[in-house]
Amino acid sequence: MNAPAKAAERIGSGLWTADQFLEFYMTRPDEERWQLVDGLAMMMVPPDVEHHKIGKRLTRLLDDALAMSHPEWEAFEEMGVRIAGVADFNPEPDVVVVPTAEVSGRYATIFFLAAEVISPSNTAEMIARKIELYQRHPDNLYCLTVAQDEVRVRLWSRETEWEMTEFTSLDERLRLPAFGFDVTLAEIYRGTKLVG
């Protein structure tokens, strides 16, 4: 669940820029996770076990594909991203693919995939807004959402002009050609309660 940050009240409008948010975030304990969407700072509730399993599995599968196709890229869990020209957006996708040489600190300014694992506390409006903003990044190739409580993966791809494709069966294949990534949904959900 995401709760609005009390600290946001220090700015007259209640909205922050990414730089103001980062100044605040760097004072917070490492175990706290915060993100900024449309100028609103939100503290994120720690993800549950199913959420972690899906995020970790997706990261491993992406890294396996990238090792063969783009060894200079790597998948990371819970790394923040910044988008040039969008001053009020500093989210932490659950999984991102970034060029390894560009990684430093908590945020990536170049990314090729942003994925969100959807938990019950996520609102459809918030996820839709994040996907819309991820698509604005000039280098991003893919956006993904992976539901944690049902078999449902949604893919947006730059090559299809960000048209959404939905997958709802464990035997369906999710393909990300730019990464050489081709797996079944069962592989993504392996180890969760959704795969027997």
Residues 35 and 113 occupy one common structural domain = no
Contacts 24+ apart (CB under 8 A), 61-69: 61/181, 61/183, 61/187, 61/188, 62/95, 62/97, 62/113, 62/179, 62/181, 65/176, 65/179, 65/180, 65/181, 65/182, 66/97, 66/179, 66/180, 66/181, 68/180, 69/178, 69/179, 69/180, 69/181
Classify 175 as helix, strand or coil: strand
Residues 86 and 19 occupy one common structural domain = no
Residues 125 and 162 occupy one common structural domain = yes
CATH number for 184: 3.90.1570.10
Quick one: what percent of the chain has pLDDT higher than 90? 52
The whole-model pTM stands at 0.78
pLDDT at 114 over 70: yes
Q: Which two tokens stand for residue 86?
A: 């969008």
Residues 89 and 31 occupy one common structural domain = no
Q: Which domain holds residue 77?
A: 49-189
Average pLDDT, the chain: 84
pLDDT tens-digit profile of 12-28? 446 767 677 667 767 77
Number of domains in the chain: 2
Residues 54 and 125 occupy one common structural domain = yes
Interatomic CA distance for residues 85 and 147, integer angstroms? 30
Does residue 139 fall inside a structural domain?
Answer: yes
Residues 145 and 81 occupy one common structural domain = yes
Residues 9 and 68 occupy one common structural domain = no
Residues 7 and 71 occupy one common structural domain = no
